Amino acid sequence: MRLAPLALLLLLASGCDGAGVAGAGRDPDQGKIEADAYPAFISPRLSESVLPNPCNGQGFAGLSQHFDDILRAFAFHRETVGQTPVELPDHALQASFKNHEFLVKKHGEVLIREDLPSVFAAEPMLGTDVVGGVEVIVLTDRARSTTGRYFIAIYSMDGTPLYKKVLKAWQVWDIDRDAQHIDVLGCGETRRLLVNQKTMPP
């Protein structure tokens, strides 16, 4: 059977597995709805403020989009966390990710069990550092570019969640930190996350 030129072009563009041009792929609309409905969480131990920045779509003051090294500002960082456990130095913790589930264990005991929305299928990135005098674990994962969503989470070393949110891709170009706060740098806004040491347990 011969295909008309237009039909053949569409078949080649879509790909037999639905991956799309160059394997970019596309998540079902339901997946994006699920991600957007993910319940955000901000602990009383952390404050969030959104500050404007002068991004015009081309970056500003040296800011550019980072992907695989977005957590490079943290003392310990891994570009991928997969099924094989990653050791977190000096804490006897092991982190892993499989089937949308992020786990952190200590001596076999589960401290963190996070089920990410289905659009976050890629192996996430992980960083640890001291912020506001508190040792934290930072997790980030991104969906396909056609979906345009990021998952950001922060936990204390005992597994207590401090922050969990799904953001849009334009809100997450890079992530920076200093001694007191974490900055999620987007195009047009900086989301500043301040950990309050006074409200943390001893």
SS3 content of the chain, % helix, strand, coil (to 5): 15, 40, 45
| pLDDT tens column, 87-126 | 998 899 999 999 999 999 999 999 999 999 999 999 999 9
Question: 97, 81 in Cβ contact below 8 A?
Answer: yes
So where are the chain's domains?
Answer: 28-199
Cα separation, 120 vs 177, in Å, equals: 24
Cα separation, 70 vs 110, in Å, equals: 26
Average pLDDT of the segment spanning 14-35 = 58
Cα separation, 35 vs 16, in Å, equals: 26
β-bridge mates for residue 125, sequence order? 140
Residue with tokens 């508190």: 134
Question: 82, 123 in Cβ contact below 8 A?
Answer: yes
pLDDT at 198: 62
In the predicted model, what is the mean pLDDT of the chain?
84
pLDDT: is 8 or 39 the higher one? 39
Q: What is the DSSP annotation of 29-69?
A: HHHHHHHHTS--EE-TTEEEEEEE----SS-STT----STT
